[in-house]
Each structure stands twice: as structure tokens, then as C-alpha cells.
Amino acid sequence: MTKPRIYLDYQATTPVDPRVLEAMLPYFGDLFGNAASRNHAFGWEAEKGVTQARQILGEAVGASQREIIFTSGATESNNIAIQGVAKMYAPKGKHIITASTEHKAVLDPFLALQNQGWSITILDVDGDGALSLSDLKAAIRPDTVLVSLMHGNNEVGTLHPIAEIGAICRDAGVLFHTDATQTFGKESIDVDAMKIDLLSASAHKLYGPKGVGMLYVRRRSPRVRLEPIFFGGGHERGFRSGTLNVPGIVGFGKAIEICLAEREKDHAHITGLRDHLQNRLNTELDFVHHNGHASERLACNLNLSFAYVEGESMLLGLDNIAVSSGSACTSASLEPSYVLRAMGVGDDLAHSSLRFSLGRFSTLQEIDLAADATVATVKRLRDMSPLYEMAMEGIDINSIEWSGH
């Protein structure tokens, strides 16, 4: 009998909600115009769809539609925000700040700028993946122009105190960018109350299509200016040239509309299933370690380390269940997760970590099947593990001096 396929990797991507697909379909057919074609009805119809989406996406974060720039996804949005600010404000200063647990789409632009002469500070986090606000304050210098810190972590789910970070940056006269890819549409965001100057998000994390994202760019108090990172046509207020992905943008707008309307219901549903899964695994297995903050975390995230087994081996045992081992975007690497390492998690536990991420379409039956399979797989692997046997006998494995050849 074929085992049912179960999807528990919602932080990597989400299925397109059927209501989103329905909204998009006309823009592949009769409404196929280029939104930049202002001389005929085909262009006007496309532009109307884009304008409606821009309006609702702006309202979702308390912004004006004129502050929303469409991109190909959050990776591009992060690059435009970070490189665009750094290059535009270079005459004021060439120091920028981020944290060690950021997504590679933030860390890599920072490292690229460092290679071009910018000074970067990468803040440490504690064992929960949380930042020290006093460390942030101490890191800001007279030549600091940008702080980029994510809202919710893609791997362990820890939420940063965005409003407090925004206040610190505003008081220091430093621009604040947040990568809200994991929280947009799921957590409450108000760019004015939180003093956010730039914000990145992506449609495919919230039941919209792949290949479309947005960047919020503040227009006043302060007005944020960006240097484009590529050129050609001056679309999107000159920040991002290129023909707009009209069906994708329409889908993005519909996806956020549904998220906002159903946020409380989705949050309760997802949190309940996550807690059920965590309780089952903690009850039926020993040596299970939770990675991330116990309470200040994304509802969808459950990152656990199962001591004395390898994450890659667990994935082979869970061949019908979509979960990730380590960071989803760098899972091709055999190195332990850099996020877990930054939190002080040892290599042995980092290698044994799995990220379960749940979503709108997850069911209790799926969660119970996933729990059954995880428990059975971990027990089977531990039955073959001499380290687990030693741990059960009370031997401190870390105190053993292994002899080499």
C-alpha cells in the first residue's frame, strides 16, 4: 500500500490557494496586457489589476500603495533594499548592521558590500535565536546608514522585537529594513508604529504564486532613496525596471487579502496542530531538543533536534513526508545549519535537527501520521546507535576521549 504524501515544509513554499489561482487566470487570457502600456485598453486592464493589488498590499502593512515596489521575490527585494540604501547613502557613511541568523538573501549582499569597501557588523544571538537590543544600540556608529534584521526566522521561527528595533534605529537616524518573508500576512505589521523604513516579502510564502515579491519603501518621515541595482525603463518609480508580472501580482494581492481575512482562524488552526505535534514527539521520545524561542516564535514553525540520530538518515526514513533538515535554502550542504551554530547548538544536535512547518491546509490526520513516522524512524535509528545506548546507561558521551588511528 502506497504511503500518503504529507507536506510539512510550508516555510520553504506554500501551495497556491485555489482562490488565488482563480483570481490570476483571467490575466493569462483575455487580460494579458502589459501594465506599462498606457495607450490602449489592454494595458489599462492590466494596470487596474496591478493597482488593486498594490493598494491591498500597502494596506496590509499600513502603507500607501505608492510605497509598494513589485519585484521577482524577497531575495530581489532584500538586494534592492540593502545595496540600494548602501550605495545611495555612502556619502553619509559606509557602515551597515545585520545579525548572524539572517537569511542568505541578506547576509550575502552584506558580504558583497564588505568586499566593495563597506564596514559590516554582524550581531550575535542567544541560545533562543534572540537579539540583544543593547548590543544593537552599541553597534550603531555615526557612519551607520542601515540596520537589516528579519521579523521571523525561517529556520527556528524566533520573532525579533521589530517595534523596539525600529525605535532604536529611528532615534539614531539610521534606516531600518526588515525581511518579513516569513511573517507578512501572518503576524501584525504596521510600518509606522514599528518605524520600518523598508520591508521585503514574497507571495509564495502565503499561498500565492512563485516569482513575485514586494519591497515597501518609505516615502516620508524619512523619505528613503535607493540607487537601482539594475536598469532599463525606469519602472516602479525607477527602483526596479522590467515588465511587471501581472498575473503574479494579482495573485499576490488576492493571497494577502485572504491571509488578512482568515489570519485569526489560520493562526489558531496552525498553532493547535504544531503544539499537538510537539507534545506527541516530546511524550513518545526522549532526548528531544526544541530549537528557537519557546513563545516568541512563528505559529507554523517547529524545529527539533533528535539526539543520537542523523537528520539526513531521518529524512530517508520519512520519505513520504516533506520536512527539511537544517536550513531549507542550503540543504544541499553537509555542513550543519549556520543558524543553529550561531545559536550555540552543537554540531551533533544541529546535524540531528528537523524543521516541521505547518500551514493552512495541514490536517490533524497528517500531523498524527507524521508523528507516528517520526517516532518510528527515530526509535529504529537509535536502536542501531551505540551512542544512544551509552546515553541510556548514563554515560556522559562528551567526556569520552576517543582514540584515533
* Spatial separation of the C-alpha atoms in residues 222 and 186, rounded to whole Å: 27
With residue 98 as reference, give the H or E element that holds it.
strand 95-99
* Spatial separation of the C-alpha atoms in residues 253 and 393, rounded to whole Å: 57
Catalytic residue ranges: 329
- Give the CA count within 13 Å in the CB-facing half-sphere of 164: 10
Contacting residues for 91 by C-beta, under 8 A, at least 6 apart: none
- Asked if 169 and 198 count as a contact pair (C-beta separation under 8 A), the reply is no
- Nearest C-alpha neighbor of 301 from the set 98, 165, 128: 128
Residue 105's region, left for phi above 0, alpha for psi from -120 to 50, else beta, is: alpha
| DSSP one-letter string for 241-302 | -S---HHHHHHHHHHHHHHHHTHHHHHHHHHHHHHHHHHHHHHH-SSEEE-S-SSSB-TTEE
- Asked if 110 and 122 count as a contact pair (C-beta separation under 8 A), the reply is yes
* Spatial separation of the C-alpha atoms in residues 56 and 63, rounded to whole Å: 9
* Spatial separation of the C-alpha atoms in residues 393 and 355, rounded to whole Å: 29
In order of 101, 235, 295, 330, the CA distances from 337 in angstroms are: 10, 38, 22, 8
